[in-house]
């Protein structure tokens, strides 16, 4: 089954404790991205990757890191989480057309709470 998986689905942590949210897709997509969803703000892109070893900032990259060492995996790293990073996080992947990514396939989400 074609899918995007994320782990963990739920995470409660404390301020400053480094964490990693994993994301993996089995569709051989070049493009992957991370979003956060906050009430009243819709989805905002954190980082994206056009291919292995190619990453770039989205609209809200502060406080986050990513890496793309393999095509299927795109982990999101919070080196020193803060309470304002409490949110619902989604990973997504997409085929890439000549003009960039097209429709995206989303993971189930990771609900992160930072106390």
Partner 1 sequence: AQSVAQPEDQVNVAEGNPLTVKCTYSVSGNPYLFWYVQYPNRGLQFLLKYITGDNLVKGSYGFEAEFNKSQTSFHLKKPSALVSDSALYFCAVRDITGGSYIPTFGRGTSLIVHP
Interaction site with partner 1 (CB under 8 A): 4, 31, 35, 40-45, 48, 50, 56, 58-59, 90, 92, 97, 99-109
Give min distance, CB of 86 to partner 1, in A.
17
Paired strand residues for 72: none
Q: Cβ closer to partner 1: 48 or 64?
A: 48
Q: Cβ closer to partner 1: 10 or 115?
A: 10
CA 63/CA 13 separation, integer angstroms: 15
Q: Cβ closer to partner 1: 18 or 57?
A: 57
User: Residue 53 burial by CB count (10 A; 0-12/13-18/19+): exposed, middle or buried?
Assistant: exposed
Instruction: Quote the tokens at residue 99.
Output: 């003009």
């Amino acid at each position: 089954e074609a899918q995007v998986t994320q782990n963990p689905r739920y995470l409660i942590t404390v301020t400053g404790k480094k964490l990693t949210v994993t994301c993996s897709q089995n569709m051989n997509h070049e493009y992957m991205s991370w979003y956060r969803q906050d009430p009243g703000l819709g989805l905002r892109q954190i980082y994206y990757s056009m291919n292995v070893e190619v990453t770039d900032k989205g609209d809200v990259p502060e406080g986050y890191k990513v890496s793309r060492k393999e095509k299927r995996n795109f982990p999101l790293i919070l080196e020193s989480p803060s309470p304002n990073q409490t949110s619902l996080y989604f990973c997504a992947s997409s085929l890439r057309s000549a003009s960039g990514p097209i429709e995206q396939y989303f993971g189930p989400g990771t609900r992160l709470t930072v106390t």
